[in-house]
Amino acid sequence: MPEATHEARPQALCNSADLVDGGLAVAFDVIYAGQTCRAFALRFQGLPQAYLNRCTHVAMELDWQPNRIFDDSGNWLLCASHGAAYRPDTGECAGGPCRGGLVKINLSEGDGVVYWHTAYNLQPIGF
């Protein structure tokens, strides 16, 4: 039986213009460690970033309204449930009741499209 490979494969996510610095996130679903999970992509300081939409304090989605994850300043990702704050560029805990950082999803951008990349524990729905 052939051995499974876990090469990162780009998956088209959205148009580059859909991600505005400090603006709304673009939500998407993935299979992470065998479970269907919600993820999000956003833009911070010109670069696209993506994470699982799962607070490390309590496994709940961060959005306080659909696709609104930035705080009012546009400088922090904020969990609406308990106030855990994360750095938008790394996903690291920046304050509040978080336990570690958000699970980062690798992105690339080219020709006006943002792509997310699969990993050994991260696959598209229907894989």
Q: Domains, the chain, ranges and CATH? A: 10-124 (2.102.10.10)
Helix (H, G, I), strand (E, B) or coil at 75: coil
Task: Select from 97, 86, 6 the least CA-distant residue to 50.
Answer: 86
How many residues can be counted in the chain?
Answer: 127
* pLDDT at residue 3 in the model: 43
* pLDDT at residue 113 in the model: 98
pLDDT level of residue 104 (50, 70, 90 thresholds): very high
Give me the torsion for CA of 99, 43, 49, 124, rounded to 10°. 110
For the cut 90, the answer to whether the pLDDT of residue 19 exceeds it is: yes
Give the mean model confidence (pLDDT) for residues 112-122: 97
- What are 99's two structure tokens? 């336990």
Are the beta carbons of 88 and 49 closer than 8 angstroms? yes
C-alpha distances in Å from residue 33, one per residue of 17, 45, 65, 73, 123: 30, 30, 26, 33, 9
The 10s digit of each residue's pLDDT in 31-78 is: 999 999 999 999 999 999 999 999 988 778 999 789 999 999 999 999
